[in-house]
Structure 1
């Protein structure tokens, strides 16, 4: 694994949550909107669909960030905010300097 890919941040988006959203919430387009929101703040994040993260929020989407093998807590996103909630969770434990 290269050093670049080891530092890459990945947003794991629950596919099940996306499929349960109302059509008007634009769930199928949410991964692209999350990527765009974080890119606008200077964060390059790879968005990947994943299985259930153990939370099944009605009208929300479960997302977990991964960086260098470390995981953040599960964040429950409001689809209307395009992933803005993730900005405060971008510093996974492995990215903090000792």
Structure 2
């Protein structure tokens, strides 16, 4: 259960970018890998990963991820599918897995 002061962040992964990736990049599995990366840094409770339509950025070999907090636009981050969403960590306030 979330308290009223918590803010939900959404990481909306562009479905069209996933379809444009080379098969070897494992695009269809990327949302799950992003969730795993975020969970390893303690963000699983505060960030919801979902698919969305085309965001209009269409980078070759990369994937567009739109970040929103409480429904308001924050940023669009271009991520390398080989890094499993690690680029998102610099845009999110996640507790580090090293924190006791």
TM-score for both structures, normalised by structure 2: 0.81
**1:78 has 2:89 as partner:** no
SS of 1:18 mapped into structure 2? helix
Task: Map 1:50-65 onto structure 2 (within 5 A).
Answer: 50-65=52-67
SS of 1:59 mapped into structure 2? coil
In the other structure, the counterpart of 2:33 is 33
Task: Report the structure, 1 or 2, having the larger helix content.
Answer: 1
1:52: Cα distance to partner? 1.1
TM-score for both structures, normalised by structure 1: 0.83
Structure 1, gaps ≥5 residues long = 92-98
RMSD of the TM alignment (CA)?
Answer: 1.6
Contact map agreement 1:13 1:62 (CA 8 A) in 2: yes
1:41: Cα distance to partner? 0.4
Contact map agreement 2:68 2:75 (CA 8 A) in 1: no
- Give distance in 1, aligned partners of 2:17 and 2:75: 16
